Homo-oligomer: A and B are copies of this chain.
Amino acid sequence: MRLIIDTDTAGDDCFSILVAAAQPDVTIEAVTICNGNIVFEQQIENALKTLEVAGLGGKVPVYPGCPKPLLREHVNAAYVFGADGMSNAGFPRTRQRPEKKHAVDAIIETVLANPGEITIIAQAPLTNLAVAATMEPRIAKAVKHLWIMGGTDNGVGNVTPAAEYNFYVDPEAAAMVFNAGFDISLVTWTLSLSSSLMTEGDLAEVAAMGTAKSDFFTTVNESQVQFSRDHYGHAGTVHPDALTSACALVPGVVTETAECLVQIELDSLLTRAYSSVSSPRVPKQEIADPSLG
């Protein structure tokens, strides 16, 4: 499988790249950086560092993308991941440097040059993909499959009661991507709460491995462990981006799917970026309210 990972590299974004790099039949064609968790320039460094840890230093180009959301003030998540998004690990700068080409141009060119070949994992706000699909709408059908980490299943969010971070940061971009005609699989925050939790025991098991990659994981995950302790009263951590990579790339991880209509709230501050996901619990709208039909 040929892969582009669009990422706001911090914390779990790194682990997701490690998951992808570990798959024998996956080629990471590019890593593209989108505004998100932390300061934009640092996210580029974090992607380069993670590729180095994964043994891919110098082998996968990293393209900087859109440094800000389309329309909204940027909102960072440094309160979860530390100022550098790596639990303030202070890693030395990598030898590999980012490309000059813009991520949006890289996405368009790679996809159009390889129609039906490229899978994209989008684990950040969706600004880059939204802009790419606006400049060149044909990419939607030329992408093989698009995996998105974002939103909730009509459940409680992680930025406001109504919204999850990736969609909240750039809701217009999310709506544009869902309207663009991509073939999409959505991995929600709701799902990650039930299916991506690493317990204190799991984390200890990883730490005990003592490899370079497990040490990197443990170091980078430290801020999130602390955040869980402070806010949720336990020391486990959730891994929505890594879950998305696992669902996309590791056979057998996905055991059940549903075909849904997803709509993103743009018109209200209170529910900004709420992801309405059609549900069998809800009567068909034309029954409940003919005026919604």
Contact = CB atoms under 8 A, between A and B. Distances in A.
Contacts of A287: 79
A277 B104 CA distance: 34
A280 B230 CA distance: 11
Contact of A159 (B160, B161, B232, B282): B282
A156 B279 contact: yes
Contact of A271 (B71, B274, B281, B288): B274
Interface string A170-211: 001001100100000000000000000000000000000000
Interface of A: 65-68, 70-71, 73, 75, 79, 102, 104-105, 127, 130-131, 134-137, 153-162, 172, 175-176, 179, 231-232, 263, 265-271, 274, 276-283, 285, 287-289, 291-292
12 contacts: A65-B135, A67-B137, A71-B172, A71-B176, A156-B282, A160-B285, A160-B288, A162-B274, A268-B271, A271-B271, A271-B274, A271-B276
Contacts of A268: 265-268, 271
Contact of A282 (B65, B105, B157, B276): B157
A67 B134 CA distance: 8
Contacts of A289: 75, 159-160
A276 B160 contact: yes
A135 B64 CA distance: 10
A70 B172 contact: yes
Contacts of A71: 172, 175-176, 179, 266
B282 A135 contact: no
Contacts of A154: 155-157, 161-162
Given A75-B288, A282-B156, A288-B160, A70 B134 contact: yes
A278 to B, nearest CB: 6
6 shortest interchain CB distances as A-B pairs:
A267-B268, A154-B156, A271-B271, A268-B268, A267-B267, A161-B276
